[in-house]
Structure 1
Amino acid sequence: MASVLRTAPSTTVSYHVFGPSDPEGFAAMAVVETLVHTHDIAQGLNRQWSPPRELCERVLRRLFPHVTVCGDAWDNLLWATGRTALPDRPRLTEWRWYGTRRE
């Protein structure tokens, strides 16, 4: 992913099932996949783990513009990907991100 980001022009657009995306969108998708699946693994091993707040905020802004971030950004990302409920929001049974190119 790092090589793609270093070498692909920012104007490049590629297919994704949720809509075409640019390199920044694909990078954000890779970050979300890494973060939430690391969480899944940690949960399975009974370990606590959380990523940097700024990283969570950045991918929430890029891929989940419909999500209002209240409180902890990591908790909000877990909620946005259907992994947890929040005090004021039930757990999602369906979710998606929006990686389409931003103008």
Structure 2
Amino acid sequence: HNAVFADRAAGPAGLLATVEASGALLASMVRTTRPGVRSYHGYGISDPEGFAAMGVVETLVHTHDLAEGLGLEWAPPGALCDRVLARLFPDAPTGGDRWAVLLWATGRAELPGHPRRTAWRWDGRPLEDQTASSAG
């Protein structure tokens, strides 16, 4: 269940203020948590870096959803998309427009040469756990 809601009467400005405040809360939690700390997520245990990446993906894709609903053009920096793709979607294609690949990885868009994702899941486990499980 969500604990944070935007007041519809506040309009788009209120919605963006809610997104900004949520981002500030996440940034504060990531900055103040020791790197070795592990915590539960619905997709498994993660570390501060994993939670930061998950928060970035949530912010980017839901900002896309909001912008699309408002009829606005919006795209984040490719380098930011590339970083979260590498951290959470290690199986994602490495070439092409990184924003298009992130939208594909989260089931929001088609990507030429790849089947459309109808279900998706990121891998937020600490990197050493991802490496250990892929090694054998």
TM-score (norm 2): 0.73
Deviation at 1:53, TM superposition (A): 0.7
Residue 45 of structure 1 aligns with which residue?
A: 70
Residue 29 of structure 1 aligns with which residue?
A: 54
Q: What is the percent sequence identity of the aligned residues?
A: 60
Q: Counterparts of 2:64 and 2:103 in 1: how far apart (Å)? A: 9
- The answer to which structure has the higher helix fraction is 2
Deviation at 1:9, TM superposition (A): 0.6
Deviation at 1:37, TM superposition (A): 0.3
Deviation at 1:52, TM superposition (A): 0.5
Runs of 4+ in 1 over 3 A off after TM superposition: none
3-state DSSP class of the match of 2:127?
coil
Deviation at 1:70, TM superposition (A): 2.1
Larger Rg: 2
Q: Counterparts of 1:36 and 1:65 in 2: how far apart (Å)? A: 18
Gap regions ≥5 residues in structure 1: none
Pairwise CA RMSD of aligned residues? Answer: 0.8
Deviation at 1:47, TM superposition (A): 1.2
Kindly indicate whether the alpha-carbon contact (under 8 Å) linking 2:30 and 2:51 is maintained by their aligned counterparts in 1: no
Q: Counterparts of 2:59 and 2:77 in 1: how far apart (Å)? A: 13
Matches within 5 A, 1:2-81: 2-81=27-106
Gap regions ≥5 residues in structure 2: 1-25, 129-136
Q: Which moved more, 1:88-97 or 1:75-84?
A: 88-97
Number of residue equivalences: 103
Deviation at 1:75, TM superposition (A): 0.2
Q: RCO greater where, 1 or 2, for CA within 8 Å and sep 6 or more?
A: 1
